[in-house]
Structures are given as C-alpha cells and as structure tokens.
Amino acid sequence: MTKQWIDFKTLKETLDVRTVLARYQVSLRGDGTQLSGFCPLPGHGNKGSKQKSPSFSFNTELKAFQCFGCGTSGNVLEFACLMEGKDPQDSQALRAVALSLQGSEKAPSRKGTSKPRAPSLPELVNAPLGFALSDLDDEHPYLGNRGFLPATVSYFGLGFASRGLMKGRIAIPLHNLAGELVGYAGRIVDDTLIGADCPRYRFPSDRERVGFRYVFRKSELLYNAHRVRELSRRLIVLVEGYTAVWWLHQAGISNAVAVMGASMSEAQVEIMKALKPSAVVLLPDGDEAGAELAQNALQLLSPHFWVRWEALPEGSQPTDLATDELSVRLTGR
C-alpha cells in the first residue's frame, strides 16, 4: 500500500498556530504575532501553578516556539508532536502527527484576507543561545561509570537532562571560538535504544524566530577550541569526539580539540589557524573511520602546520590509554 505523500514544508508554512493550540487546549496570551504563557509541554508541567513564571512563547508568523525554562524550541509541527508525547526526531511519529493535522492547516478567514507568503528568512549560523539548560544532573552514573571524575564533569559543564529535547541524554555544551554557548549535543545514556529513530547523539534543530532562521552546523565548530585558545601551550591534539577530550584533560593534557565526527571541514581548519598551533598531533580512534579522519586532516592541515598522526592499535580509542601511555605517545616523555 502506497503511503500518502506529505509536503512537510508546505504544511508547516500553512498550519495556523492558534488552531493547533486550540487542538491541544493550550491557552496563551498576546496580541498580534507573539503569544506567551506557561510552558504546556509534557515534562515541563501543564499546570501553571508548578511554574514560577511564564517562560513559553510562540510566534504565529514564524510558526516557531521556544521555552526559556526547559530549553525546548522548534516549529509548529514539532510542537504538535511534543504535545502528543512523541519525539519530533522520530520520522514515523512526525509523519503520523502531520497526517492528523492535514486539513486543519488554515484558520477560518474571510475571502480576500489571506496574507502573501513571507520571503525566506536570513540565516544565523551557530548564533549564541542566550540561555543555558537548567537542572542538569552532574552526578548521573553514566559519566562516573566511564571513569570521569566529578572535577572533569564540572569543568566541561556536563549533566544528565531529565526533560526537554535532550531528555534521557548527557547534555554537552558547545561553544564557538569566542566562548559563547551556541547549543548542546545530547549523548544517549542507554545504548540499547540506539537506532534509526534514536541516534547516539542529538544536536539542535534549525528554528525560525524574530525574523531569522537559526541554523546549527556542527562542522563549523571545534569542540573545546575556546578553552585551548587560552592556553600557552601550542601543540594541539586533534581527536574525534568529546570523550577523548575529557579523557585527555583528566590525564593532564588540556590542549585537545574534537571535530565531533569522522571528517574535518574547511571551517574547522580556519578555527585551527586561529589557534596558531606550532604543531598538531592527530589521535583518532584505531578503526577505519579514524584512519579516514587522519588522512583527511593530514591533507587539510599539512599546508599550514607540522602534523603527525599517532596511530592507535586496531579497535582501541584514546580513552583506553592510561595517563603514562598518553604522555609518551603525545610528547615522547
């Protein structure tokens, strides 16, 4: 049986916010395009008495919402998905909600009163958030069970999120080179849940708000670069992921940055150039993806810096190495 085709882009543009709010019996105050009130999202609390002050806003023109209390934001379709207790990142759940909303796209209006479609919004890439997630549990056993000390967890601002879009994940703050918070990565704590509908890591979704389209691009950040920038040491260690940065820091090697993946981008090269390292040591995982990263990084970085690839044994990771071995491999001492 052929699935009914859904034009998600058109649906999001034509859904009337007030109609969707009425569908879920949500009451917000405001005139014009900006509505506000207590956060209605499951997990934050549907009863205003449980919230000290209104933290939720919905722009009816941009079809975008944001809660400054729980940190959740998104478009009108994602709002509907969350209100039904479903994960907007789950394509099947999103499709089911979209199907249920088709036919209620437009609010009742008089003939000839419809507005022309708004032009495309200018993009802001990796813009500062202006807020930080609250109530993160920095004592969650996930990190301690993997050998990370409380001091390391505190230094990197890590914590388990029990609500919002990072619910069930370790929230990892992401900063630009200036040290401004631009988003969070969320690492699932239960690996048995990892699959097509539940990725190992979750990143911020694009959103429209206050006349701009806010876009998150992981490839234009280097994890921990803002801290390394403040160090006097100029040898920089390049790794794949966050945990390697934490492990090296805990071993006394704080000059590590991560590409947050298995490839390096031109934008990340520019960040490395801004750090002005005297040398770069590549320390990827000992697998095929790590080898591909090393070759990619060698090609991009060699024209600018002295670069060395410290290859690890097959199947091993930087977090498998003891402090003494890390020191020998990276500094020869």
> For residue 123, what are its two tokens?
């993009």
Which range has the worst mean pLDDT, 57-61, 122-126, 206-210, 271-275? 206-210
Which range has the worst mean pLDDT, 32-36, 110-114, 322-326? 110-114
Candidate ranges 22-31, 197-206, 304-313; pick with highest mean pLDDT: 304-313
At 168, is the secondary structure helix, strand, or coil? coil
Percent of the chain residues topping a pLDDT of 70? 87
Q: What is the pLDDT of residues 180-193, one digit of tens each?
A: 999 999 999 998 98
The count of other CB atoms within 10 Å of the CB of residue 94 is 19
Confidence of residue 53 (pLDDT cuts 50, 70, 90): low
CA distances from 109 to 77, 105, 113, 295 (A): 21, 12, 7, 59
> How high is the pLDDT of residue 38?
82
> How high is the pLDDT of residue 31?
62
> How high is the pLDDT of residue 5?
58
Mean pLDDT of all residues in 151-158: 97
Site of tokens 């080179």: 177
Q: Which amino acid is at 32?
A: G
Average pLDDT value over all residues in the chain: 84
> For residue 284, what are its two tokens?
């990827």
Instruction: Please list the residue range(s) of the chain that carry CATH number 3.90.980.10.
Output: 141-216
Q: How many CA atoms lie within 13 A of 83 on its CB side?
A: 20
Does 3.40.1360.10 match the CATH number of domain 225-331?
yes
> For residue 19, what are its two tokens?
């109609």
Instruction: Please list the residue range(s) of the chain that carry CATH number 3.90.580.10.
Output: 8-118
Does 3.90.580.10 match the CATH number of domain 8-118?
yes
Strands 123-125 and 64-67: unpaired
Q: What is the pLDDT of residues 80-124, one digit of tens each?
A: 888 888 887 877 777 788 888 765 444 444 444 444 444 577 888
CA distances from 81 to 74, 92, 297, 328 (A): 10, 11, 40, 51
Instruction: Please list the residue range(s) of the chain that carry CATH number 3.40.1360.10.
Output: 225-331
Global pTM reads: 0.65
User: Residue 172: phi, psi to the nearest 5?
Assistant: -115, 110
Report whether pLDDT(276) > 90: yes
Candidate ranges 117-126, 239-248, 261-270; pick with highest mean pLDDT: 239-248
> How high is the pLDDT of residue 223?
98
Mean pLDDT of all residues in 37-51: 63
> How high is the pLDDT of residue 306?
95
Bigger pLDDT: 156 vs 329: 156
Determine the Cα–Cα distance for residues 163 and 307; give it in Å rounded to an integer: 42
The topology (CATH level 3) of 141-216 is: DNA primase DNAg catalytic core, N-terminal domain (3.90.980)
